[in-house]
Chain A
Amino acid sequence: MLLEASLAASGIGLFCVASVFSVACLLCRNPPGRGELGVSLLLALGCVPLVAVLLLRSANTGRVPLFSTFDALTVYGVFLTIAALCFLTRHRTQGVFAILSPYVTIILIAGFPAVGVETGPVPHTVSNVVLLSHMIIAFAGYALFSLASILAFAYLIQNRNFKHRNFGVVFERLPALETLDDLMFRLVGFAFLLLTISLMLGVYLVHQSGSGAEWAADPKVVATFVTWALYAGLVHMRANAGRHGTRLALVTFIGLAFVLFSMIGVHMVAHSVHGFVQIGVAAK
């Protein structure tokens, strides 16, 4: 427990340093050269102890670490960071890390109090491999949707800079509107595919468990389908109707609230059949 907490704290500490450094790089008039590279390295280093603590928890409990608030938020945070490091560093997206790093840090801090929480038994009526795939693919999808929302936020800031004629350092450092728009929808498309696969696996699991009616009315299932429908609309608007611009960026940004609610929020406000996913310290 102490080792897990220490590892998690060190990972979060590195994310905190990365956040301060990335914001400084965005706002300082003379940022250090290769500042973005430094932020990327700090984030990658921060993921190492977090992955270690997840592996440790997996070894201790004998199952994949996805069933507590700490596990869920840490996996989400790590997936999001890895996605950002893979996607953003390949494009001219300087400045976006100043939004991403603090966001991931807040997510990780929110999960930290539940670091030692033991989770309840997982129903053994379901195939573990399918359940694992269902969950991991869903988390990967959520991470990519969130990254798209972060890019959408950068788009809205840059749009505001243009409209209000704020041509300062933030304007200078954030990427071009078209770059953000393009990346945003590539991520949404990919994430939508992952969420669809995850939902299909979920339907298969329900079919296996033989309790269809109970699952169909489950708040988490409903919330996830609403999120899926929102992004389906977004993908349609872009891919079929060829829409671009501020409004779509706004919808992509708002999508983050749906993602967070269907991923974690729904467990806090309603009883779910997904109840084996233990939420918060209170579940201990």
Chain B
Amino acid sequence: MNMNLSVLGINFRTAPIELREQASFVAADVGVALGRLCAEFPGSEAVLLSTCNRTELYTAGIDVEAKQTALIRMLLKGNGSTDLSEATRHFYTKKDLTVAEHLLAVVSGLDSMVVGETEILGQVKQAYMLAEQAQALGKALDPLFQNAFRIAKRIHTETDLCRGRVSVSSIAVEFAEKVFEDLGSKTVMIVGAGETAELSLKSLIERGAKEVLVLNRSLERALSLAERYGGRAIPYDLLDDYLPRADIVISSTSAPHCVIREATVRKAVAVRRGLPLLLIDIAVPRDIEPAAGELANVYLYDIDDLQRVAAENLAKRQESVEEARKIIREGAAEVACMFESADLREMMRRLDEFGQEVSDTVLQRMLAKEKMAALSDEAREEVRAIAQKVVAKLLAGPRESLKRAARNGQWAEYANVVSDLFRFNDRPGADRDNSEAKNDKDSRKRQ
């Protein structure tokens, strides 16, 4: 692979949040940074991915190892307060094929903090679009990212890596959607004010929940929460009166006893005339009497139920990790093949040029001799044609071998041998190609 692909970045595993904050880019800044980078390294390509868990700069045509300090400074936005050598310690660099593998792991959610999360796919797509707008994409990164999206989709559909929710709040929302589907006409009641309950409430509001009722022993806290989410604070002792109005109840008080009795729920169900009532109890000790869950049309889940589902989904995701890795390996090999076919075309072009050059040089010398001066133009043309045929015959063998090697995955070895035999590396302008070929070879050896 002669594209000189590389990635330089930090993520939640390698860097503390303080450093990640400094290397964080909003969408508007990404275009500016890419524009500056492409101006500094003409002919290069770049994609800048910035999320709360990672900042990564994917490049092609830039010697990242040589320019590492400058690039890190750019990623840290020239922040003078940061110790650059200390910051550098947290950055990682990957080159050539390992870039493809890394990108595939990132885009499929395999490298995420919560394995299998799908938000990252949208974030990478946004980074790709920003790079496209900044005209920072070319023949290396464009196909690389397109292939990454395709392979990520394959992982999502063929494995369980992204299936099932894994947080308590998202499972509560999933249950709500499985009971009601359309939350647009539903009333959510929140009893107490735990963090998870608030997260669930937030998700339900994002999905369009119509009305929010907030009950808390402290009316002040109830008012504050209600104000934040556009709900109504209800005095705590009116719980029984308001329960029939609620379709979804999320309870997370710190009360040492049940605050919602079975009898209360029974009355509410009677008033609701069989409309389903979803009760999510995430308090320990439990807030809702377990017997309430036995009532018809009442669906009661406690923290253990939700955590069990989360654990099962997470286990399913973990089971799929190896499967996903296999698809990533296959995907990386496909990407390598794609780049190798580009390399193959380039090598063929150089062989043709070499053949043409040899025949032209020899013919020029030969036809310049005195004894050849008597040759007619027709005869000269014939000699020239014969010389070209001889060269073509001589090169047919190497060309065929190179094509076969590319098909059999032995491209790197054959390409190096042919380059040595025909001295492509000693020719002018070969220095850059030489170092890339070496990197390519090294990277393949690592594979």
Q: B residues within 8 A CB of A247?
A: 274, 296
B182 to chain A, nearest CB (A): 7
Q: A30-B158, A92-B181 are in contact. Are A162 and B274 (CB under 8 A)?
A: no
Contact pattern, B 288-322, Cβ under 8 Å of A = 1, otherwise 0: 00000100110100000100110010000000000
The CA of A3 and the CA of B403, in the complex, are separated in Å by 58
The CA of A163 and the CA of B178, in the complex, are separated in Å by 13
The CA of A241 and the CA of B182, in the complex, are separated in Å by 23
B395 to chain A, nearest CB (A): 47
B292 to chain A, nearest CB (A): 13
**B180 (CB) vs chain A CBs: closest residue:** A178
Is B274 touching A178 in the complex (CB atoms < 8 A)?
no
User: Which B158-177 residues have a C-beta within 8 angstroms of A?
Assistant: 158-160, 175, 177
The CA of A175 and the CA of B274, in the complex, are separated in Å by 18
Is A244 touching B180 in the complex (CB atoms < 8 A)?
no
B103 to chain A, nearest CB (A): 24
Q: A30-B158, A33-B157, A165-B305 are in contact. Are A244 and B179 (CB under 8 A)?
A: no
Is B297 touching A178 in the complex (CB atoms < 8 A)?
no
Q: B residues within 8 A CB of A248?
A: 274
**A241 (CB) vs chain B CBs: closest residue:** B273
Is A176 touching B177 in the complex (CB atoms < 8 A)?
yes
The residue in A29, A162, A163 that gathers the most chain B C-beta atoms within 10 A of its C-beta is: A162
The CA of A176 and the CA of B179, in the complex, are separated in Å by 5
Is A246 touching B160 in the complex (CB atoms < 8 A)?
no
User: Which A41-99 residues have a C-beta within 8 angstroms of B?
Assistant: 92
The CA of A247 and the CA of B305, in the complex, are separated in Å by 25
Among B158, B273, B276, point to the contact of A242 (Cβ < 8 A): B273
Q: A residues within 8 A CB of B74?
A: none
A102 contacts the other chain (CB 8 A):
no
Contact pattern, A 2-43, Cβ under 8 Å of B = 1, otherwise 0: 000000000000000000000000000110010000000000
**B313 (CB) vs chain A CBs: closest residue:** A167
Is B180 touching A246 in the complex (CB atoms < 8 A)?
no
Among B178, B180, B275, point to the contact of A245 (Cβ < 8 A): B275
Q: A30-B158, A178-B181 are in contact. Are A244 and B275 (CB under 8 A)?
A: yes
A223 contacts the other chain (CB 8 A):
no
The CA of A162 and the CA of B278, in the complex, are separated in Å by 10
Is A245 touching B179 in the complex (CB atoms < 8 A)?
no
B296 to chain A, nearest CB (A): 5
Q: A residues within 8 A CB of B274?
A: 243-248
Is B273 touching A176 in the complex (CB atoms < 8 A)?
no
A261 contacts the other chain (CB 8 A):
no
A209 contacts the other chain (CB 8 A):
no
The CA of A158 and the CA of B180, in the complex, are separated in Å by 12
The residue in B274, B299, B305 that gathers the most chain A C-beta atoms within 10 A of its C-beta is: B274
- By the criterion of a CB under 8 Å from any partner CB, how many residues of chain A are at the interface? 23
A271 to chain B, nearest CB (A): 41
B277 to chain A, nearest CB (A): 10
**B171 (CB) vs chain A CBs: closest residue:** A167
A264 contacts the other chain (CB 8 A):
no
User: Which B67-94 residues have a C-beta within 8 angstroms of A?
Assistant: none
Is B296 touching A177 in the complex (CB atoms < 8 A)?
no
The CA of A244 and the CA of B299, in the complex, are separated in Å by 15
**B293 (CB) vs chain A CBs: closest residue:** A163
Among A30, A163, A171, A179, point to the contact of B181 (Cβ < 8 A): A179
Is B158 touching A178 in the complex (CB atoms < 8 A)?
no
Contact pattern, A 169-212, Cβ under 8 Å of B = 1, otherwise 0: 00100011111000000000000000000000000000000000
**B316 (CB) vs chain A CBs: closest residue:** A29
Q: A162-B179, A246-B297 are in contact. Are A177 and B276 (CB under 8 A)?
A: yes
The CA of A248 and the CA of B296, in the complex, are separated in Å by 11
**A161 (CB) vs chain B CBs: closest residue:** B178
Q: A residues within 8 A CB of B296?
A: 245-247
User: Which A231-261 residues have a C-beta within 8 angstroms of B?
Assistant: 241-248
Is B273 touching A177 in the complex (CB atoms < 8 A)?
no
**A29 (CB) vs chain B CBs: closest residue:** B160
The CA of A30 and the CA of B312, in the complex, are separated in Å by 17
Q: B residues within 8 A CB of A176?
A: 177-181
Among A33, A177, A241, A242, point to the contact of B178 (Cβ < 8 A): A177
The residue in A163, A244, A245 that gathers the most chain B C-beta atoms within 10 A of its C-beta is: A245
- 19 extra interface residue pairs, beta carbon distance < 8 Å, beyond A241-B273, A243-B273: A92-B181, A163-B293, A167-B312, A175-B181, A176-B178, A176-B179, A177-B179, A177-B276, A178-B179, A178-B182, A179-B181, A244-B274, A244-B275, A244-B276, A245-B275, A245-B296, A246-B274, A246-B296, A247-B274
Between A and B, 19 residue pairs with Cβ closer than 8 Å are A92-B181, A162-B178, A163-B293, A171-B178, A176-B177, A176-B178, A176-B179, A177-B179, A177-B276, A178-B179, A178-B276, A241-B273, A244-B273, A244-B274, A244-B297, A245-B274, A246-B296, A247-B296, A248-B274
Residues in B lying within 8 Å of A, measured CB to CB: 157-160, 175, 177-182, 273-276, 293, 296-297, 299, 305, 308-309, 312
**CB-CB nearest 4 A-B residue pairs:** A245-B274, A176-B181, A244-B274, A245-B297
